[in-house]
Amino acid sequence: MSSELLIIERKSGYAVLTLDNPPVNALSTEILAALDAALDLIRCEDAIKSLVIVGSGEKYFSAGANIKEFESPDAGPSNGTKGQAVFLKLEKFPKPVIAAIQGNAFGGGLELSLSCHLRMAAEGIALGLPEVKLGIIPGWGGTQRLTRLAGRTRALEMILTGNPIDAKQALAWGIVNRVYPRETLLSETESLAERVAHGPSIAYRAILRAVIEGADTDMEKGLAIEQQGSREVFKSSDAKDGISAFLGKRPPKFKCVIESE
C-alpha cells in the first residue's frame, strides 16, 4: 500500500516508509492517517521485521504539522490528539523502527523521529521544536519524549527558546544515535534495518516493551514487565535455537516471527 503522501517499499526483511509531501514534508491530517494505516498493515506482515522512516528530498525530513490546519480554535487540540495517537502507536510498535533523518526535522517532524526507537541523522541538519515562536507548544509528545531522551534542562532550553540544534549537538545530548554524511545516511540506516531483520523478533518485541513501558513506571513494575517478557521469550523457538547455536558454536537460525500478541 502506498498513498500519494506516504510511499512504502518492501525490501529484504524490512520496509522503508518515505514521507513524500513536498516541499517540506508537512505532516498533514492525510499523511498522519496514511502513517496510521501503514503501521496497521506492516504490523501484520511477518516478512517485515523492521522499519525505516525517511523524508523525501534532501532539505527536510519534515518541517512538522501543516499550520494551515490550525486556523480554527479547536483545530490545534484536535489535530494534536490525532498526532499523539499515531506517534504513540509508532512508539509501541512491536518491530524496531529507525528514523533516517536526512534533512531538517522541526516541530512535528522532530516529534515523529522521537517516537521511533532509533534515530540516525545526517551531518549538518537542524532539529528543533519551534512551536513557542507561534505562541503554541509541542503537541505530539515532544515535551515528554525530548525530556526523557535529553533531560529536563536541555529539553526546556530547546522548547522554551524554540531554537534548533545541529546533528552533532543532538548526538552529544542523546537525541540521535548516530550521525553520518548525508550521502551515506540512508544506506547505513537500511543496513542496520536489514541486520535487525535477521534477529529474533520475539526478543525484540519484549525488549521494546520492557524499555518503553518500563521507563514510564517505577523500578518494581519495570522489573515485572521485564520478567514477563523474559518468560515469554524463553518459551520461543528462537530462544531454543539461540541457546543451542551458542553451545554448538554455530550461527542461530531465528524464525523472526512474532508468534502471539
* Active site amino acids: 111, 131
Preceding peptide of 23 cis, ω within 30°: yes
The CA-based dihedral angle spanning residues 141, 13, 29, 155, taken in that order and rounded to the nearest 10 degrees = 20
Length of the chain: 261
